[in-house]
Structure 1
């Protein structure tokens, strides 16, 4: 299990989808986005590796062509494309906490965001997104069953924020995310992973907008082929569990939030997922997932690659 792992911590796909007109009335959370790119993780998401230093590189591409309203109906035709490269460094210490290994991680995404609204405005930005860092504790209950618990802090480092721009590289607010992940791994049989996450979003000081709390999970199911390969499916489930708020006297969105019952969003995705772990310890995974059941958010599909190795 030396390299077959993904920490239970968020990665940024920080595209600020700030649509105008009718579209702006159906966004869940500010800009219709979250700090966590839903469904990014793959097999082994609950496994923390042995003490040491590790590196990961995520490469992702998100494509969306529709914005859905509170009833799930099409509210706008869009062309949203977000490409991101995310290097992450992980340090697992010898220190034991509650019987588990203590680790830390840090990452800084590089984003390229293009947004075109049909018969409307368009924008394009490229640069550094919001940084993520935090501690994690990993537990190995058996050679097949593993869990991890952690807290991640998302910092608003995503370039210069302008509330009047169509897209921004970062969210311009802090997020605290609590995480609990579980993995059942059998190289010659059934594999299952789930990571549960709860996000608390702080207020955007430039817009006086506070996105609601979010509850979501990444999951995978697969079968180990006995030769390093795992084949199956994966995706995410997402539900916003509290209303957005924008109560300041100079907040233009306050009336829209009230009119749309808090702008609560939800979505679900599923698609094929595959991973290969070499005898030398490095691993490479790939997945594609298609969204459905979307409310108050953009609807699209995502492609992800992930490479993991010891440093």
Structure 2
């Protein structure tokens, strides 16, 4: 989406007054995790059978998704924005290998994730730089107002490692533990809206559970907790986040399953660091949508095809919008 200045805002004085009223009405600009985004991608953490490791071997999964959304006032690229609009096409390839470990009664392995942003398009509403303290309020005050900005960019995002993958199967119940480490490998420029990475390391502990009944009903949940390090460029430490992805499905047969998927996101600690000079704010969000999977034989291998759509139904200080996924997974 493209936004154009309203006629009433074309004069600089009117522009300043409008932004000042916006910021005062919100008490402070709405910040939560730097730029309102983190290494968590809504709905990307699982769908069908997310807690089940069926056998030892080499696994591959590829997700291509389109995401679009809007976020109210936030700080990004060294400026405070009245709003941001984003659309992105991204591809993530996950490779993992697990061993059968009789001594632990389950599986143990490791994995790697390679995310490629095919294109990210961001536009920003009215923006202001913040660098001077107000004697009256003690807050940073804006100078140099402008009509936002934006652009397009694509390339390698932040690689992630799965140093440990552990799984156990207990009849109809299945459990998997998978910590993830995100590395700051994507392009980053604090003065740009279109960054490909976060410019900090994130440690994300994840536990997934699947119940798959004999009648074909499934309930799967993945819960994770993200701990973020400092962005050394901006001196900003994003608060920790709790995220939960869930699936409720019915397996029509061994190849076809239909269900609903959803996510919950909640920031649990405030933003800190000298770069978080506008205060501490908390992000949250939730979404839901349909999902379908169908397994097809290809060259002697069973390839699991997955499609899902997640619609954001609530967000605070984070992007609210839609995500559409097309994925495949197989075991070699």
Q: Deviations over 1:128-157 (max 9, x none)?
A: 000111211010111x32110121111111
Equivalent positions of 1:74-113 (< 5 A) are 76-96=82-102, 98-111=104-117, 112-113=119-120
Determine which of 24, 27, 34 is the counterpart of 2:31: 27
Would the alpha carbon gap of residues 109 and 202 (structure 1) be closer, same or farther in structure 2, given more than 3 Å must change? same
Contact 1:201-1:212 within 8 A present in 2 as well:
yes
Larger Rg over CA atoms: 2
* Highest RCO, 1 vs 2 (Cα 8 Å, sep ≥ 6): 1
Matches of 1:190 and 1:94, distance apart in 2:
27
Helix, strand or coil: the match of 2:223?
A: strand
| Off by >3 Å, runs of 4+ in structure 1 | 21-24, 75-78, 94-98
Residue aligning to 1:46: 51
Matches of 2:59 and 2:122, distance apart in 1:
34
Q: TM-score, normalised by structure 2?
A: 0.78
Would the alpha carbon gap of residues 276 and 168 (structure 1) be closer, same or farther in structure 2, given more than 3 Å must change? same
Helix, strand or coil: the match of 2:100?
A: strand
Matches of 2:232 and 2:256, distance apart in 1:
47
Would the alpha carbon gap of residues 44 and 227 (structure 1) be closer, same or farther in structure 2, given more than 3 Å must change? closer
Deviation at 1:271, TM superposition (A): 0.5
**Does 182-191 or 214-223 show the bigger shift?**
182-191
Deviation at 1:36, TM superposition (A): 1.8
Equivalent positions of 1:284-303 (< 5 A) are 284-303=305-324
Deviation at 1:188, TM superposition (A): 4.3
Contact 2:73-2:83 within 8 A present in 1 as well:
no
Matches of 1:185 and 1:53, distance apart in 2:
23
Contact 1:214-1:239 within 8 A present in 2 as well:
yes
Matches of 1:62 and 1:183, distance apart in 2:
27
Matches of 2:236 and 2:287, distance apart in 1:
28
Matches of 2:102 and 2:230, distance apart in 1:
35
Residue aligning to 2:160: 132
Matches of 2:207 and 2:233, distance apart in 1:
32
Helix, strand or coil: the match of 1:31?
A: helix
Q: CA RMSD in A?
A: 2.1
Would the alpha carbon gap of residues 97 and 114 (structure 1) be closer, same or farther in structure 2, given more than 3 Å must change? farther
Q: Deviations over 1:47-71 (max 9, x none)?
A: 12311112111101111134378xx
Deviation at 1:281, TM superposition (A): 2.5
The structure carrying a bigger strand percent of its residues is 2
Would the alpha carbon gap of residues 66 and 178 (structure 1) be closer, same or farther in structure 2, given more than 3 Å must change? closer
Equivalent positions of 1:111-260 (< 5 A) are 111=117, 112-118=119-125, 119-134=147-162, 135-142=164-171, 144-159=172-187, 161-186=188-213, 188-246=215-273, 248=274, 251=275, 253-254=276-277, 256-257=278-279
Structure 1 residue runs without a partner (length 5+): 1-20, 70-74
